[in-house]
Structure 1
Amino acid sequence: MKILFRVSLLFLVSALFGSCNQDGANTDEFAIARVYDQYLYPSELANLIPDNLSPEDSLSLAKKYINDWVRRNLKVIKAEKNLYGEDLKIDAEVRRFRNDLLIYKYEEKLIDQKLDTNVTETEIADYYDKYSREFLLNDHIVVADVMKIPLDAYSAAYKLKRLMQSDKNSDRKLLFDMAEEVDANYSFANENDWQEWTRIEETTGAKIQGDPEQFFKYNKFIDTRDSLYRYYIAVHDFRLKGDISPLELVRKKIRAIVLNKKRYKLLLEMENDLYQTASKQGDFEIY
């Protein structure tokens, strides 16, 4: 059914443009458009028209393609006339682009077939230890619990503060329950849940007073407020701007770096093997 539809469409397009066979054209088809000595045939439209379109939409799409084809070829011919004498340069650029594209496609296929994409924790740790100075922090970072409490929750505020400062598991359960009761928002960090201090600062209004290292060292619990909310911040760990980033924050980046190095090594080995084999077989000569 689809084949019959395509055939009908092609005849319709041919009829629409009323074209007849031209000199130098494909003897098996009637041309549907011409620009100087360039011809467009119905078969060139066959794979461009989706099967799920109505006849009207299909014809509209075909007409658009034909019009675009005419405009494009007119521009190409105009360019060829105006760039006469530069053809060799353009041809060289086209050949260079084609060669680069062929090499790229081949290398991507080789990588898909042979690249070991597994990056072990040992490889990540070794790279981190060797190049740790490449991963300096651009901001202070902290591992911190943050709670946002409505300012009118007076009676609960003191209890929540005490519970946040406690290390007991039982108190942590009470903390969660009480926070829900007073509609407090909270986020509690695991050991490696680092976040930029500026994000906490923007959310809570808490400001570093004096020297950053001394501030974080002696302010493990920060209590601040605005016109609507009270904010509690329990700082468990910190790193300063300019310090080496914790491994947890750069693990994905290091994995990508290690993988890219493996990729480069594989391609270099392929290139060297190709060169050595061709040299032994006399496939090239350097005069």
Structure 2
Amino acid sequence: MFSLQKNYLYLLGVIIIAICSSCDSLFREAPEKNPLARVGDAYLYKEDVVSLIGDEMSAQDSALFVTNYINRWASKQLLLSKSKINLPEEKLAEFDRLVSDYRMDLYTRAYIEALVLQSQDTAVTREELKGYYEKEKENFKLNEKLVQLRFVGLPLQFLDKDAVVAKLKNWKEEDKEYMDSIAVQFKKIHFNDSIWVGASRVMEEIPPLTPLNEEQYLKKSQFFELQDSLEVYLGKVTNVLQINDTAPFEYVIPEIKQLIVNKRRLDYARRLETEIIDEAIKKNEFEVYGKNE
């Protein structure tokens, strides 16, 4: 019996030595990393830095970048070591919990967002948009003046300005057709006076309009003629909404659509979290202990 046990131990030793030799051989064959710097037990390797060097960098720029990166890395490592020595244990434990929680939040949020984007339909019907608008209309207040207008920018040497002025003022079907027919002669045009446009956007397109004079020119039924060193601007304002007025439906459609889609995503994420917990409970993968203790 003793002899068999001795032989068994001998064979076991041979096997262990063979395994270790094999492992040693494997370790020797594995490519070694190239360290660039060391602080205590922490190493910075070439592989950690090389991906950060842009192809457009010269050799001199690359060398300077690597040197600066190594110094910053070393400074952080040294400060980290000092902090672990000098900060109270309870503070270190608190930071470790915060880091762990943040890491978990990053993973879970990214996963949930990926599932939401994969499965969520972002199509929103006009009926949904209109229903949301009517329900929440009082929450859609303007934070800038809106105007409906038509205008053109004419070259300074334009010969038939009076005809354009008359057409812009009358704006009957034949006037629109005439303006369309000569539109290639204009430097700027905006004929769709059913669209609401922010006053700031209008001032971008018509530089002589400024916050100092927009009250004079951007008012309902106002026709204006302004000029700078480049163009003559002719415009007819058809309607105006002031700050704190209720925003028109068409103007806030993009905002409403985003609100609806965001609500869908939030609802889906909440439902997903509930379903995951329910499934884990059914599979006995999740238990809560001591609830009744």
**Within 1, Cα distance between the matches of 2:150 and 2:184?**
16
Which of 163, 173, 183 is equivalent to 1:159?
A: 163
Residue 262 in structure 1 maps to residue 264 in structure 2: yes
**Within 2, Cα distance between the matches of 1:245 and 1:255?**
15
AA partner of residue 46 (structure 1):
E
- TM-score of the two chains, using structure 2 as the length reference: 0.67
**Within 2, Cα distance between the matches of 1:123 and 1:138?**
24
Contact 2:208 2:228 survives alignment (8 Å): no
What is the aligned length? 250
In structure 2, the partner of 1:172 is 176
The one-character-per-residue Cα deviations of 1:135-179 (angstroms, maximum 9, x if unpaired) are 1223332221123557886x7333222122233444334445667
**Within 2, Cα distance between the matches of 1:32 and 1:147?**
65
In structure 1, the partner of 2:96 is 91
1:188-267 matched pairs, under 5 angstroms: 188-197=190-199, 200=202, 203-205=207-209, 208=215, 216=220, 219=221, 221-225=222-226, 231-267=233-269
Cα shift at 1:99: 2.1
Cα shift at 1:230: 5.9
**Within 2, Cα distance between the matches of 1:53 and 1:166?**
60
**Within 1, Cα distance between the matches of 2:188 and 2:62?**
60
- TM-score of the two chains, using structure 1 as the length reference: 0.68
AA partner of residue 263 (structure 1):
R
Contact 1:156 1:178 survives alignment (8 Å): no
Residue 78 in structure 1 maps to residue 79 in structure 2: no
Change (3 A) 1:45 1:188: same
Change (3 A) 1:95 1:226: closer
Contact 1:142 1:197 survives alignment (8 Å): yes
**Within 1, Cα distance between the matches of 2:170 and 2:269?**
56
In structure 2, the partner of 1:5 is none
Q: Does the residue aligned with 2:170 lie in a helix, a strand or coil?
A: coil
**Within 2, Cα distance between the matches of 1:115 and 1:94?**
31
In structure 2, the partner of 1:117 is 122
The one-character-per-residue Cα deviations of 1:87-119 (angstroms, maximum 9, x if unpaired) are 212222222222222221221222133222222
Q: Does the residue aligned with 2:160 lie in a helix, a strand or coil?
A: helix
The one-character-per-residue Cα deviations of 1:45-76 (angstroms, maximum 9, x if unpaired) are 23532596999569836555544443332121
Change (3 A) 1:32 1:39: farther
Contact 1:140 1:196 survives alignment (8 Å): yes
In structure 2, the partner of 1:132 is 137
Q: Does the residue aligned with 2:122 lie in a helix, a strand or coil?
A: coil
Change (3 A) 1:67 1:172: same
Q: Does the residue aligned with 1:139 lie in a helix, a strand or coil?
A: coil
Q: Does the residue aligned with 1:236 lie in a helix, a strand or coil?
A: strand
> What CA RMSD, in Å, does the superposition of the two structures yield over aligned residues?
3.9
AA partner of residue 264 (structure 1):
L
Change (3 A) 1:55 1:250: closer
**Within 2, Cα distance between the matches of 1:240 and 1:115?**
37
Contact 1:143 1:194 survives alignment (8 Å): yes
Query: Which of 240-249 and 265-274 deviates more?
Result: 240-249
**Within 2, Cα distance between the matches of 1:134 and 1:263?**
21
Q: Does the residue aligned with 1:165 lie in a helix, a strand or coil?
A: helix
AA partner of residue 40 (structure 1):
Y
In structure 2, the partner of 1:102 is 107
**Within 1, Cα distance between the matches of 2:71 and 2:201?**
55
**Within 2, Cα distance between the matches of 1:142 and 1:59?**
54
Q: Percent identity?
A: 22
**Within 2, Cα distance between the matches of 1:91 and 1:127?**
44
Contact 1:146 1:232 survives alignment (8 Å): yes
For structure 2, the residue ranges without an aligned partner over 5 or more in a row are 1-26
Which of 140, 146, 154 is equivalent to 1:141?
A: 146
Q: Does the residue aligned with 1:111 lie in a helix, a strand or coil?
A: helix
Query: Which of 63-72 and 78-87 deviates more?
Result: 63-72
Cα shift at 1:263: 0.6
In structure 1, the partner of 2:8 is none
In structure 1, the partner of 2:47 is 46
**Within 2, Cα distance between the matches of 1:90 and 1:279?**
31
